[in-house]
Amino acid sequence: MIGSRDINYYQPDQIKRVRILNRADGYYVQFCIKLDPRETVKPLTPSQKATGIDVGLKFFLVDSEGHQIDCPNYYRKAEKQLNRLNKKKSKKYRKGKKQSRNYHKARKRYARKHLRVSRQREEFVKSVALRLVKSNDLIAYENLNIKGMVKNRHLAKSITDAGWSVFRQWLEYFGDKYGKLTIAVSPHNTSQNCSNCGQKVQKSLSTRTHVCPHCAYTDCRDRNAALNILQKGLSSVGRTHANFKRFGRDSLLVGWRNPAC
């Protein structure tokens, strides 16, 4: 939560709000500053690349080139330690009485561990989002209803641990900051349709390989979905993958508006 510039760098009228935050590891002062992030960065050289990304639980994401990034599972890895700290905290709790110093110490240790997991997750998704934005001119991703998905009690913990919502926020922020296109597309049938011929190929969640009976195209299920996501993203701006490479990013920027906004 420490900024990259001293607060004296900014004019007083740029500071719009000041908040004092109480975190598990101490207090922080947060200054909200009115600033166009695009004015603080050097423009990136266009890469002439576009990618679609499919997020998941086994792999954090798979892109349309087939690159895979594993889920770090920070919460799952820390779960045993968190449970131990929670039990210690619970043992020191005295119902209906003033809590002891030992209880407050145990509560703070438990809260600090949760905060550490949260920060690890945020740093991870932040670095992945920045890498994607810097290496592509257009990034297409699914407009998932994550609030609805976490209502599934079997998947809620894993989805929260993956950090999809935070990842999307950083992806859109960096896209705006560096002038790259980030496009949210409908997730409808991205996993079921064949990216080669467009025919629907029904498959269960346990089926990890896409095999099309219509055109014999075979690929990893997640990469097939990422290719469909990319095609949807490009079609929303009136391009195919081939002529995107030919005309590049600048031809798309005129009159374009992110449908997710």
- CA-to-CA distance for 74 and 233, rounded, in angstroms? 31
Q: Are 52 and 231 in contact (CB under 8 A)?
A: yes
CB 227 within 8 A of CB 64: yes
d(CA 253, CA 195): 26
Pairing relation of β-strands 59-63 and 15-23?
A: unpaired
- Write out the catalytic residue numbers: 54, 142, 222
3-state helix, strand, coil split of the chain in percent (to 5) is: 45, 20, 35
H or E element, residue 175: helix 164-178
